[in-house]
Amino acid sequence: MTEVTKVQELVYELKLRDVMKKDVFSVAPGMQMSELREIFRTRRISGAPVLDGDRLAGIISIEDFIRWLSDGGKECRISEKMSKRVETFYSDDTLVHALNKMEAAGFGRFPIIDRQTGGMCGIVTKGNIIEALLKELEIDFHEEEIRRYRASHIFEDIRADKSTLIFQYRIAGELSEAGTTSSGLKTTLKRLGFHPDIVRRSAIIAYEAETNVLINAKEGKMVVRVEPAEIYMKIEDKGPGIPDVEKVMEPGFSTAPDWVRELGFGAGMGLPNIKKCSDKMVLNSTVGKGTCLEATVDIRQPQ
């Protein structure tokens, strides 16, 4: 079932230029019909586009050649026997468009035209499309396999009654260094094989908490505990603290000074972002002592 939807997605996503055969053997309109015998035989092809410069003039197939032979095989130019009404696609057409048209046309070899230049830039058959889809699916399948393996085995491989992985990060430095801690965590979680959604949410929580610490308290630390059921994150600082922890949760509330706002912070959306990304969040703070933010991301049920 997932495979089917994946294919559906791909036929909408992929363009003909992603799957077409680019180095196409072609013939010139002025060539003689008799020359085709050798060409078709040695190249093992059953047809070829006829190109006048880079313009597509027509297509000549083995059927055209056989018809010419049975009509007596009188020597003439390819341009006289080729089919001139050729159905083409543009290189930026989607696979789904091509597949539908192929179905209706009843034949399966289409020259591809570059929309900008008007010249022919490749050729596509149903075979090319299927091949490309299979390749994409295989890559996807492979990546999914690795992910599943790691995410599900990391704790099973550990022999213990209770297992927890703990990562600690120090948060300090200029605001320009914001992102160091969170990108470190992101890489780690990715390597552990967590679902991209889990990684994304954890990274956002870390980044927003990190910038808040850098702006308001200058330094602090982050502890991340990875447990079988959840990722628990605790970000602590010994900064000025927050007088009203409910107020700061309101979207848009911010005390950021001008220099911080100039850098694009201070929208008052950081804490609301954290809340949105976590399954549980607790903010504790004492004025003059510091602030402690705890956030949990469930890893049992990716959204």
Ligand X SMILES: Nc1ncnc2c1ncn2[C@@H]1O[C@H](COP(=O)(O)OP(=O)(O)OP(=O)(O)O)[C@@H](O)[C@H]1O
Residues of this chain that interact with other proteins (CB under 8 A) are 13, 92, 175-176, 178-179, 182-183, 186, 200, 203-204, 207-208, 211, 263-270, 272-273, 276
> In the bound complex, what is the minimum distance in angstroms from residue 226's beta carbon to Mg ion?
24
Identity of the residue, 53 or 288, whose beta carbon is nearer to ligand X in the bound complex? 288
Rounded-to-integer distance, Cα 113 and Cα 92, Å: 9
Residue 90 near residue 113 (C-beta atoms within 8 A): yes
In whole angstroms, what is the distance from residue 272 CA to residue 267 CA? 11
> Could you say which residues in the range 182-211 bind ligand X, by CB under 6 A?
208
Of the candidate residues 242, 277, 295, 299, the single one contacting ligand X (CB under 6 A): 242
Closest separation between CB of residue 226 and ligand X, Å?
A: 23
Element (H, E) at 124: strand 120-125
217: contact with ligand X by CB under 6 A: yes
Smallest distance, Å, CB 105 to other proteins? 22
Which residue's C-beta sits nearest to Mg ion?
270
Alpha helices per DSSP H over the chain: 2-13, 16-19, 35-43, 62-70, 78-81, 95-105, 126-156, 180-192, 196-216, 258-262, 270-277
Nearest to 206 by CA among 230, 226, 182: 182
Q: Which does 276 bind (CB under 5 to 8 A by kind): ligand X, other proteins, Mg ion, none?
A: other proteins
- Which residues lie closer than 8 Å to 184 by C-beta, 6 or more apart? 169
Q: Which of 28, 86, 133, 269 binds ligand X (CB under 6 A)?
A: 269
When CB distances are held under 5 to 8 angstroms depending on the partner's kind, the choice from Mg ion, ligand X, other proteins, none that residue 49 binds is none
Q: Which residues in 255-274 contact Mg ion (CB under 5 A)? A: 270
Instruction: Give the integer Cα–Cα distance in Å for 199 and 294.
Output: 17
The minimum distance between CB 114 and other proteins, in angstroms, equals: 12
* Position 92, amino acid: D
Min separation Cβ 198 and other proteins, Å:
14
Give buried/exposed letters for 173-188 (b at 16+ CB in 10 A, else e): eeeeebebbbebbbeb
* 181 in contact with Mg ion (CB under 5 A): no
